[in-house]
Every structure is written in structure tokens, then in C-alpha cells.
Chain A
Amino acid sequence: MTPEELKRLVSQGEAERPEPKHRICVCVAAACLSSNSDQVKQALENELAARGIAPECEVKGVGCMGLCSAGPLVAVEPDGVTYQHVTSTDAAEIVEHLGQQPIERLTCPTETPFFTKQYKIVLENSGIIDPEKIEDYIARDGYTALARVLEDMSPQEVIDEITRSGLRGRGGAGYPTGLKWSTVAKAGGTRKFVICNADEGDPGAFMDRSVLESDPHRVLEGMAIAAYAVGASQGYLYVRAEYPLAVKRLRTAIRQAERLGLLGNNICGTTFSFHVDIRLGAGAFVCGEETALIASIEGKRGQPRPRPPYPAEYGLWGYPTLINNVETFANVAPIIRNGGDWYASIGTEKSKGTKVFALAGAVKNTGLIEVPMGITLREIIFDIGGGIPGGRKFKAVQTGGPSGGCIPEQYMDMPVDYESLAVVGSIMGSGGMIVMDETSCMVDVAKFFMDFCMTESCGKCVPCRVGTAQMYGILQRITSGEATMSELALLEELCDMVKYTSLCGLGQTAPNPVLSTLQYFRDEYIAHIVEKRCPAGVCQMPVREGH
């Protein structure tokens, strides 16, 4: 099937509609929805109807535009203006100004580094297309990669292209995607599965949710291409039940794709068949771990099991299974469309392409960003993020969530890639990035993440089940001024032991927030223990005698 045929497929049955004169795009992803963007959308529609200009002007719901802290966001095309913090009372004024001078009061500057320093591949359609319309996706070259693959590429050629791109898993560990695909492809047997991991359990992370809500077809297309490459005919999307909007849009997307013959039996008229079903996760962080996720799909208790055997060899119901993250799959179609070499030209030597981050914490601009690998932390935090608000001083940035670490000022000019982050004691992780200023207590931060790991531990293995509880206990004593230096030594011993003896990644990385804060902010621990003082003034310390 050619791209032209694809587009024709879509327009079949639909009367040719003239392009509207003005299009008002309202973000309807979760962040803007939570500040009532649906009401804004309704008000705009009412306004157009009231003025009787609905046919030539259109209101459209789109996915995330990135600058969530300025939401609800509304973009007007072709005027090229974006409005921020829009409320439904602004509707009349926006409609009045269509094609006129933009409303100054509401204008969101888009020539700022927040927009210009980003590089969008995964998010290329986010905020532009209507996530509930397959036509929109196809209009922007959607499903052409799948059509191309089925038309004139062998499975091996697809794998070679992915390998050439240098794409690495975006679920945290950064395992080379091409290598994983080729392992599954080589695994014997006729039954294989493809699973998309959309469990996204890191506190504060919402990259995957945003992709699913803003551009669901991109993930389905990536999965279908993967299924063709490894020889699978059934796929599962494992989504957290806490993401109802993503689930709804995925259901719609699957239905639409099936209707157009882009999923299901004999895709694009070929012998290739691929079905996708959604499975809901019960919200346990550990169910994002691949073996636990598989157990959960099988209807068992979501607990990890020792690897090897890896899922590539022995996965869902014992069959070879490819499991990749949402963002990993979202990169596949552009790689096929533009070539592996194109993708490999972006980024650093060992980390190719872009990475989506959920920028949060003590920065002016929070939201979803996509940047080329190799960009420095300083550019992310100070240019894109706009620096620290309130004239406060930067202290550290936390990447990798509960498995990651805190990176201090001295490494601000380090490039963001898998290896560099590991060298300074953190990880790329799935893309959470929390900026902290001088008002954050690093021991308290470590305690927060340890609490998370303790609560989310599945309880199967001893070091993680009991070790995290013991480490949390010590951190609690440190932050309430009760601990001694020998308890700090015990904490370090436990970190070492839990890291090297736990069964799965949760336990193995649970000590990381403690280890990295101990590495760079040991003086803060000592102040709590010896002087009974919290330098950032966060922890409740016992009132000292004589004060």
C-alpha cells in the first residue's frame, strides 16, 4: 500500500471538506483537562455556533503541547499564536481576535528556548493532531512506515534498520532495541507475543501517558512493525488502570485501525496479521518489571521471577516475547520512515535520538519536553526549564525516580546520555526529572524514595522486603534527629547488600537515591545526626536544650 492509497482509504466515504479558515486547537491531555480545558473547548464551540461561523472555523481537541504549567493551552492556526492559562470566559475574545492581532494578555511566547531547544520525534504530533482521529495521524504520514515495511522490507531488514538507528529501550535500562528484536526473532516456535509496557509507575513520570493520550496510533504502528519483525501475531498493551483517558483513546485507536485494516487480520491486504488487546495493570509499581508484568497478564500475582530465562526466550505463557516501553515503540515509525542513519545522526555516540522528560519541581517551566540526547542538564534546567523561580539557588536534579540519583551543580554541563548519568551515580530511567533548590533536604528526598520502594516492594525476596523497611527506619531516625553515626554505617551496609542481592530491579536500585545523596550531600546527613540540625529546614528536629 502506498501513502497515497492510505490517504485515500481514510477519505473514503467522507465528503471532501474544505480546509477551515481558522482552527482553534485546545489541549485535551490530562494536565490541561485537569484545569478544565474541556470547558474551554465547549465555550469556544458555543461561541462559534452563536456567531454562526462554525463551518469555516473549527475547534479541535489535541494532545499535549508540552508546557503544562501554562495550561490550559490553546493554539490558533494558521495565525500561529498560542494562548496560555485560558479560561472559558476568554472564549469570546479569542474568537473575536481570529485572524487579527493576538490577545496580548493571553499570548504564550513560543520563541523561547522552551520551544526552540526541543527536538520532537516522539512528540512530533502531540498538540497538533486530534488523538481520537486516525485521519489526523495518517495525514501526518501515520502508518506509512507500516505500509512500507509490509510492502518491501523483510523482517530482517526491519531489524537491521532499528539496529542501525542505535535506538535503546526507553523503559529505564537502555537495552539496545535492535538486539532485543533480533533475539526474539531468532527464538524458535510459531507463537510469539509483543507487549507494550505502559505501566509507568515512577512517581511524577507521565511521558508514556502523554504519548498514549496525544498520539496513540504511533504506539500501535510501532508495535505492529515490531510484530512483523519478530514474527508475532498477538500484542498486549499493558496500561495502568489509573490512566483511563489513555485507555479510552487506545481503545478508539485500535478500533479505528482495525476498521481500516491496519490492525487485525491480513493487514494492508498482506498475509501479516496482528491483534492488539489492552490489559489493565492494578497500579503496582513492580508490575512494570517485565517478568512481573507477564505474570500479571497471565492472571498470576504480579511478582518478578529470576532471569534468565529472559522473556525474549521464555515470556508470556512460556512463549518468546518482545517487551518494549511506550516511548521505544513511539520511535519506531519515524526510524523506518526516515532511516536508521537519520536517527543515529541525532544524539551522542552511544545514546541516539531524543528522550522525553517530565520536567518537574523547582523550575519555572514544568511539563513534557523532548530533547536530543547529549544536551546538557544546564540547557534543560536553565534554558528550557527557565531556571529556578523565586531567585533561589539550584541544588540538585533527580533523574530516574526511585531507581535513580540526585545530581549536584558540578555536573550541570554533563551531557545527558545513558553512560554519563550512570557515571555520576544516577540513571536515565524512564524520564522523570525533578529539579530541587536549596529548600529541599536531600535526606528527606532519599527518605521519600525509600518509602516508595518499601511500599512498592512485592515482598518476594528478603533483601528488598526487609532491607527497604530497615533502611527507611534508619532514614526516619536520621530525619528526626535520633540516629547515631553507627546507624549511618549500618545504612551504608544495607544499601550495599540490598543492591547486590535483591531479585529484581526494584530492590537492586532502591538504594540509589540514598547512595547518590550520600555521595554528594554527606554533610547534610552528618548535620542531621551530629548537630541534630536540618540545613534546609525541612525536617522536624527535636528542640535542643539551651534554645
Chain B
Amino acid sequence: MNQPVRVKTLKIDDRDVSGREDETILEVARQNGIFIPTLCHLDGLTSIGACRLCLVEVKGVSRLLPACVTRVEEGMEVYTQSERLQKYRRMTLELLFSERNHICSVCVVNGHCELQSLAQTLGMTHVGVPYRFPRLPVDASHERFVVDHNRCILCTRCVRVCDEIEGAHTWDVMGRGIDSRVITDLSEPWGDSETCTSCGKCVNVCPTGALFEKGKPVADRLKKRQFLPYLTMMREERR
């Protein structure tokens, strides 16, 4: 028997909104046209609260809460745009840009990159922390795809889509802290992967130029994500 769905009413940026009890602050905000930046979240994949861009303030709660994994509650008062949050978001982006080598002008996704466009949207015009310039490999062993670790922001969308949607679990994360890196299989060249089905889902969900398809001009490197909501819908059906 279906349980009755309960609806919660709350305020986001002083606007009265309502959402189902199983919806997150992010979902309800988006339904109401309120913008909250995100990077690790992607509709259709499990949310992990890792990038910290979607942090919001909730009245009466001392901690900042990630909107992508926080459920709405009755009477909640959410603030998404305070100066403090904007500053933290810009700093988060600055840390990401400083972490690896982002040379947008020569990047395969220049102009179609979520990291790049978020920087612009959030008013980040330069990186205030020193660039680290690590030396990182590019793996072009796969016949169709390339992984360029210089551009990876470790959002793990590739890991999740490959595991949760494609069911191949080719990707994973190796190492700790600043030395973390995404790997294919047991850190073998992607081209040698026994598990990869070459479906291209990881490439399409990657927000940056870390995963891309060989031999396409930059203008055609728009990533296609329309398939995800459909696949998730099918998955919900299955549940």
C-alpha cells in the first residue's frame, strides 16, 4: 500500500516554498528557480556531499548544510546567498583551480566546462591561493576516450555513473588526500580495462575536461546528460 506523501513547508531566501518530505533543499530550491551551485551532485546519481559548493545556512543550525543531501523540514528557514557562503564558494573553486593544472585556453572543453562557468557565475576572477602545478599523467590508451588527470576535480561522478547506472564499476579512487586519483580497474590503463563497456557515460557526466572523446572538435564536446534522468526514472520503477 502506498504511504501518504507528506509535504513540508519552509522558507528559502525568505520565499515560502514547499516540498515532499523526501526531497532535498537543492531539489526544492531548483523547482522554485533558486540557484544553488553544485559540482559533485548530478541528477540521477547518488549525492555524496563532497564538493561543498551547495552549502547553505539554516536558521537555528550552527553548521552549514549541504543542500544536495539535506532533506527539507517543516518550518526550516534556509539562506542560500549570504556573503559568507559566496566567499566560501569562491574559495572552494579557487582551491579546485589551484589543485591541478587548469589551462582553460588550451582545454578540450573550453567554453563547455562546469568548473569554468561556475567560476564566472560566482564572480571568481582569479585564484588567491598559490597554484600547485602537480605533474600528472594523461591516459589515452582507450580507443575512444581519454582521461587527463590535470583537469580532474575528483567529483567522482564518473565513479558513480559507471557503478550505479552502467553497472561496470570500472572507475574508483585511489590514494588519499591531495594524492587521490581516479583509476580504471586496478589502476591499469583504461585501454586494457576488462570491465569498461565503452558506453561513454563517464565522459558525458564529467563536468570538466578530464574525460573526453577522441577526435572531436571542441565545439562538439558538449556533454550529453539527457539520458540520466530517463535511466533514473527506469531505476525508480524497478525499486
Contacts and interface: CB of A to CB of B under 8 A. Distances in A.
Are A and B bound to each other? yes
Interface of A: 284, 301, 305-306, 454-470, 473, 490, 493-494, 497, 500-503
Given A459-B154, A500-B88, A469 B49 contact: no
Contacts of A457: 176-178
Contacts of A473: 130, 132
Contacts of A466: 95-96, 98-99, 178
Contacts of A497: 87-88, 91-92
A503 B128 CA distance: 22
A306 B95 CA distance: 21
24 contacts: A306-B49, A306-B70, A454-B178, A456-B177, A457-B176, A458-B177, A459-B154, A459-B177, A462-B51, A462-B52, A462-B153, A463-B95, A465-B99, A465-B177, A465-B180, A466-B178, A467-B95, A468-B177, A493-B91, A497-B88, A497-B91, A501-B55, A502-B52, A503-B66
Given A456-B176, A462-B92, A465-B99, 14 more contacts: A306-B49, A306-B66, A454-B178, A457-B176, A458-B180, A459-B178, A462-B50, A463-B52, A465-B177, A466-B99, A469-B99, A493-B91, A494-B129, A503-B52
A501 B88 contact: yes
B69 interface: yes
Contacts of B138: none
Contacts of B129: 470, 490, 494
A497 B172 CA distance: 28
A456 B175 CA distance: 10
Q: Which of B51, B55, B92, B95 has the most CB of A within 10 A?
A: B95
Sort chain B's interface into a size bin.
20 to 34
Given A306-B69, A501-B52, A502-B52, A284 B176 contact: yes
A66 B15 CA distance: 61
A469 B178 contact: yes
Contact of B50 (A454, A469, A500, A503): A503
A454 B177 CA distance: 6
B12 to A, nearest CB: 19
Contacts, number: 93
B128 A490 contact: yes
Nearest to B130: A473
The A interface, classified by DSSP as helix, strand, loop or mixed, is helix
B95 A460 contact: no
A177 B126 CA distance: 47
A457 B179 CA distance: 10
A461 B52 CA distance: 7
Q: Which of B48, B173, B177, B180 has the most CB of A within 10 A?
A: B177
A476 B207 CA distance: 33
Nearest to A459: B180
A295 to B, nearest CB: 12
A463 B92 contact: yes
Nearest to B153: A462
B64 interface: yes
Would you list the 3 A-B pairs with minimal beta carbon distance, nearest first?
A459-B180, A457-B177, A306-B49
A546 B63 CA distance: 52
Nearest to B181: A459
Contact of A305 (B48, B55, B95): B48
Contacts of A463: 52, 91-92, 95
A494 B90 CA distance: 12
A536 to B, nearest CB: 27
B49 A305 contact: yes
A139 to B, nearest CB: 46
A260 to B, nearest CB: 42
B64 A501 contact: yes
Contacts of B178: 454, 457, 459, 465-466, 468-469
Contacts of B64: 500-501
B7 to A, nearest CB: 20
Contacts of B177: 454-459, 464-465, 468-469
B95 A459 contact: no
Contacts of A458: 176-177, 180
Nearest to A453: B177
B179 to A, nearest CB: 7
Interface string B74-99: 00000000000001100110011011
Contacts of A462: 50-52, 92, 95-96, 153
A497 B49 CA distance: 16
A465 B49 contact: no
B77 to A, nearest CB: 18
Contacts of A467: 95
Interface in B101-144: 128-130, 132
Contacts of B176: 284, 455-459
Given A455-B177, A465-B177, A473-B130, A460 B48 contact: yes
Nearest to A471: B129
Contacts of A306: 48-49, 66, 69-70
A150 to B, nearest CB: 38
A83 B128 CA distance: 60
Interface string B154-187: 1000000000000000001101111110000000
Nearest to B180: A459
A224 B50 CA distance: 36
Nearest to B128: A490
A502 B48 CA distance: 13
Q: Which of B49, B52, B130, B153 has the most CB of A within 10 A?
A: B52
A459 B173 contact: yes
A88 B176 CA distance: 45
A503 B96 contact: no
A465 B95 CA distance: 9
Contacts of B153: 462
